[in-house]
Chains A and B, each alone.
Chain A
């Protein structure tokens, strides 16, 4: 599985956009980029995923560069409740139909008033 590199920590002011970068320079053609977050010590929560096109859902937007070597998760209007550890994961589909999620250390996002 391709490895990902994320900053250890980031800060964001409440109401502003939070842009979380991720490098995945060894990603291959059939590997998807997934984002999860973990609030305090709860179980991780799915946010969004994409292959090569930009994606948007009710939680966030995902921007993937044309060469797919990096991506950015955007929380358009961060709130205090978005304070969490954000994990960028490259996920490969294994024959047989299942995938493994391999987590790195993630980015600790602190949203402040």
Chain B
């Protein structure tokens, strides 16, 4: 059981280049999330997908696009990378809430370390 898998683990981009960060989960979770973490700071939500076919903006969506390809996969795209997007990116997934209870815990991938020069 791999959990949440992110690829690549490391990437260096030049300013203006584009790339897609891939995320896949094998836990049959409905909801998936993309976060970024800058040095010494907590995680900030970029985009999330409550369920297959839906996506919504989080706290810091500018400069990013997402695609919920299917239930398992949620990708994050940088169309024109900027040095301000140098960060560690985490993907997460969780079950959808049932009844009166919130969804259970979110599971995180190991991160993608992106440097834009």
A106 to B44, CA, bound (A): 13
Binds B, one of A12-20, A61-69, A73-81, A95-103: A95-103
The minimal Cβ–Cβ distance linking B48 to chain A, given in whole angstroms, is 6
Most buried by A among B90, B98, B106: B106
| A43 interface contact, C-beta 8 A | yes
A100 and B105 contact, Cβ closer than 8 Å, known pairs A42-B111, A43-B90, A43-B111: no
How many of chain A's residues have a CB under 8 angstroms from any CB in B?
A: 24
Q: CB distance B42 to A49 under 8 Å? A: no
Q: Return the CB mask of A72-113 against B: 1 if under 8 Å, else 0.
A: 000000000000000100010110111111111110000000
Question: Nearest residue in A to B90 (C-beta to C-beta)?
Answer: A43
The minimal Cβ–Cβ distance linking B73 to chain A, given in whole angstroms, is 17
> Which of B50, B106, B109 makes the CB contact (< 8 A) with A101?
B106
| B24 interface contact, C-beta 8 A | no
Q: CB distance A45 to B45 under 8 Å? A: no
A106 and B42 contact, Cβ closer than 8 Å, known pairs A41-B88, A42-B110, A43-B109: yes
A residues in contact with B98, CB < 8 Å: 97
Question: Nearest residue in B to A43 (C-beta to C-beta)?
Answer: B108
Q: CB distance B105 to A46 under 8 Å? A: yes
A94 to B48, CA, bound (A): 13
B residues in contact with A45, CB < 8 Å: 108
The minimal Cβ–Cβ distance linking B11 to chain A, given in whole angstroms, is 15
Q: Return the CB mask of B79-92 against A: 1 if under 8 Å, else 0.
A: 00000000010101
Q: CB distance A98 to B92 under 8 Å? A: no
The minimal Cβ–Cβ distance linking A99 to chain B, given in whole angstroms, is 5
A residues in contact with B103, CB < 8 Å: 93, 97-99
Q: CB distance B96 to A97 under 8 Å? A: yes
Q: CB distance B97 to A97 under 8 Å? A: yes
Q: CB distance B92 to A100 under 8 Å? A: no
* CB<8 Å pairs between A and B, sample of 13: A43-B90, A43-B110, A46-B105, A46-B106, A91-B102, A93-B103, A97-B98, A98-B94, A99-B31, A99-B94, A100-B33, A101-B106, A103-B44
Closest 3 CB pairs of A and B: A43-B108, A46-B105, A103-B42
